[in-house]
Amino acid sequence: MNILINNIDPKLSVITLQSGKTQSVSALDRLPKRTYEVVYEKKDTVSERQEMLRRCADEVCSMLHKDKVSEVCLDASKTDAADVMAFLEGLQLADYTFDRYKSKSREHVATVTVKSGLISQEMLDEQLNVWNRIFWCREWVNLPVADLNAEQFADELADIAKDLGVACTVFGKKKIESLGMGGLTAVNKGSVDEPRFVVLEYCPKSLSKSKPIALIGKGIMYDTGGLNIKPDDYMQEMKSDMAGAATMASVVFAAADNQLPVHLVACLPLTDSRPGFNAYAADDVLTMYDGTTVEVINTDAEGRIILADAIAYAVANYNPQLVVDAATLTGAAVRAISTYGIAAMQQHADKPMQKLKQVGEEVYERIAEFPFWKEYDELIESDIADIKNCGIAQAGTITAGKFLAHFAKEVPYIHLDIAGVAFFSKKQFYYAKGGSGYGVRLLYNFLKSNK
């Protein structure tokens, strides 16, 4: 979708935005054009109002598709700039569909011309870059492993990084083994496809001596559960188990697109998890990158095992000021808060977490912070190793976070369990069915607020 700032073309259909006491979205025939009127309420909070506008935009987008309108004007001359941007965001995100395997492309909006004296081209270009990265994130998450395995994903990331001037290092299987990444190596043992470990570093010259923020993303390209194999109904949609890696790569690329003054390092462990060959098994004891020994209780708790190596690598090699991970980690997170937000925990990172929660409310990608009491550490104690990879069923989301926090050591650490929001089995407003890109706006705006 192209978005332009210009005057209204009288020949084109028009979307009008205006505030009122009630909310409504309607379409009117006014030959030779069609008018879509959006009346929106002044909600109690700015974030609620702007979320309502995104959802109104989703309704309008559906109408435009149905009416086969590909070019439209948005008359927002009487609307606040931030509200206009929220509406445009909803329209842009709602227009996405995963069409790569469709013989016939679905309807899309090609061009939106905006009438507003409050929006600059600079403001628009910044957001267009972020929305573009969300689209890429969705595409990666939606692709099946047959067309996007660890090697292919690493190659794509390297190509994009080169175009943006982002430093990219890709470790192959032998290097991963030589580094002592016992977690990533173990999870990959059941697969014919080799693993990859990708490091992306974006650093403006003025920040070359600063400590980076480390972004860690779970990159399980497909998850069968390993030898603790998933039932068939849980296997569906497991192509999405690399959404954490896709999210973190997209955030780094969005920062580079817009030249944010932040120093970022993304560490992305990539592999699929299969039950073949010499697959790792429950009762195995793994030695991780930092020397920690881990007793395997369940091979389907594999995401935290590869993330542990990545977190330990980032801490040891980059001395980050903050570590943030994103992972489709636990079904327990979905059971706890459903698909309305991200389950999160923090260690030594109270202030960054408060800021992240504030930004989450602003962009409506919200965070539910779980307790991280020291008693939860007892649930992952092992009789034969330093720790075990999962505990009892209770507090499963928290114990997964506790496992990962061990590898962050004393570095401020935030864990984001995006299991409920990274992939939707049905359309949810402007989030299409499938990969959502949920978390990209959250983290980009968090980084922007900390510049």
The DSSP-derived string for 98-126 is --TT-SSPPP---EEEEE-SS--HHHHHH
β-pairing, 33-41 with 13-20? parallel
- Over residues 189-241, the pLDDT tens digits come to 999 999 999 999 999 999 999 999 999 999 999 999 999 999 888 888 999 99
Read off the pTM.
0.96
Q: Which DSSP string corresponds to 266-329?
A: EEEEEEEE-S-TT---TT-EEE-TTS-EEE-S-TT--HHHHHHHHHHHHHHHH--SEEEEEE--
Report the pLDDT value the prediction gives residue 78, as an integer from 0 to 100: 85
Residues 242-259, mean pLDDT to the nearest whole number: 98
**CA dist., res. 166 & res. 163, Å (int):** 8
Residue 419 banded pLDDT, cuts 50, 70, 90: very high
Structure tokens at 400: 């997964």
- Over residues 255-273, the pLDDT tens digits come to 999 999 999 999 999 999 9
- Domains of the chain, CATH where assigned: 2-114 (3.40.220.10), 131-449 (3.40.630.10)
Percent of the chain with pLDDT over 70: 99
Report the pLDDT value the prediction gives residue 31, as an integer from 0 to 100: 65
Which residues are designated catalytic?
A: 230, 304
Higher pLDDT, 16 or 44: 16
Residue 451 banded pLDDT, cuts 50, 70, 90: low
Report the pLDDT value the prediction gives residue 8, as an integer from 0 to 100: 78
Q: Tell me the CA distances in angstroms from 266 to 51, 151, 276, 289, one per residue in order.
A: 29, 17, 30, 17
- Over residues 53-107, the pLDDT tens digits come to 999 999 999 999 999 999 999 999 889 999 999 999 999 999 999 999 999 888 9
Report the pLDDT value the prediction gives residue 1, as an integer from 0 to 100: 85
> Using an 8 Å Cβ cutoff, are 422 and 435 in contact?
yes
